[in-house]
Amino acid sequence: MIPILDWTDYETDPDAFTSALGAACRDTGFFLLSGHPVPDQLVSDVFTAADTFFSLPPSEKAPLSITKNPHNRGWSAQGSENLDDTSDQVDQKEAYNVGLDLAEDDPRVVAGEPFRGVNVWPDLPGFRDTMLTYYDAALALGVALQQPIATDLGLPKDFFAQHFDQSLATLRVLTYPAATGAEGEIGAGAHTDYGSVTLLMTDGEPGLQVKPRGGDWTDVPHVPGAFVVNIGDLLMRWSNDIYVSTPHRVLPPKRRRRSIAFFLDPNPDSVIRAIPGSGEAKYPPVTGADYLRYRLDATYKPEPVE
């Protein structure tokens, strides 16, 4: 049901790769991607750095809370999010977000542009460098994936390039505690992702499930070293529903579960409207920043910055 694509095939047989990608994006909106250039050692380093951060006492993580940050950066405490807006289930996970790394005197930061703040960092040796190295590698891969996506949709290969040169992409490391057996417990509630594509790396612990249209919840297989890639809501509306953004969730794991999610969103001022040749638009135009804010506000309400 969820195909495995090899990124190296895009160089040797781009037509076949693009066809397979397009079929996956129209069907479940999910595929596994092996053969990518993100090094295994870098993935391991990110997991190690995240483990170190999450092991800190809450008092040391609290000053970095994402609820105090208007730019979607920092620590999300366990029980602070509710991704399934149709239920009262509270997600049992912790997370930490990193965005485009900007200096305090960057004109976009000074002007207070949406989601253009500085990253916040724990006082941990190597943490910042590791996260930013991974951010850059995942961003490069996510942007490169836009080329076969454009080709499959009948667009010029570089159609999306101008929309991702100042991306609102977010790197999010997550940890899910082992299940307690409490009634109604959930790792992450059923939801669809917000942006263009998500690149997810997991530690192999089961729990991630998808629910294809008209189907039942299905486990996502684990292929060591492969990304789980899925289409987000913004790309679905950009493609005028040619591609599908599929609900997924994380069940409470038997053992602690860890993952590294990279959410590729377009530039804040990019206007997302139905692509040429897709027929009458099913959605009104929206900017990348406005759509991200709309979705985040439904998940949690930021606290005033002191």
Residue 86: per-residue pLDDT: 82
Angle between helices 127-152 and 14-26 (to 10 degrees): 90
Number of H helices, E strands in the chain: 8, 14
H runs (alpha helix) in the chain: 9-12, 14-26, 40-54, 58-61, 107-110, 127-152, 233-238, 288-297
Question: Up-side HSE of residue 256: CA atoms within 13 Å toward CB?
Answer: 9
Largest CA distance in the chain: 54
Residue 304: per-residue pLDDT: 41
- The residue among 200, 49, 62 whose CA lies nearest residue 128 is 49
Residue 301: per-residue pLDDT: 42
Residue 300: per-residue pLDDT: 58
0.85 exceeded by pTM: yes
Residue 213: per-residue pLDDT: 87
Torsion of CA 103, 108, 111, 113, to 10 degrees: -120
Low-confidence ranges of the chain (pLDDT < 50): 301-306
Indicate the residue type of 186. I
Q: Which domains does the chain have, with CATH numbers?
A: 4-297 (2.60.120.330)
Is 251 in contact with 219 (CB distance < 8 Å)? no
Q: What number of other Cβ atoms are within 10 A of residue 181's Cβ?
A: 7
Question: Up-side HSE of residue 18: CA atoms within 13 Å toward CB?
Answer: 17
- HEC letters along 25-90: HHCCCEEEEECCCCCHHHHHHHHHHHHHHHCCCHHHHHHHEHHHCCCCCEEECCCCCCCCCCCCCC
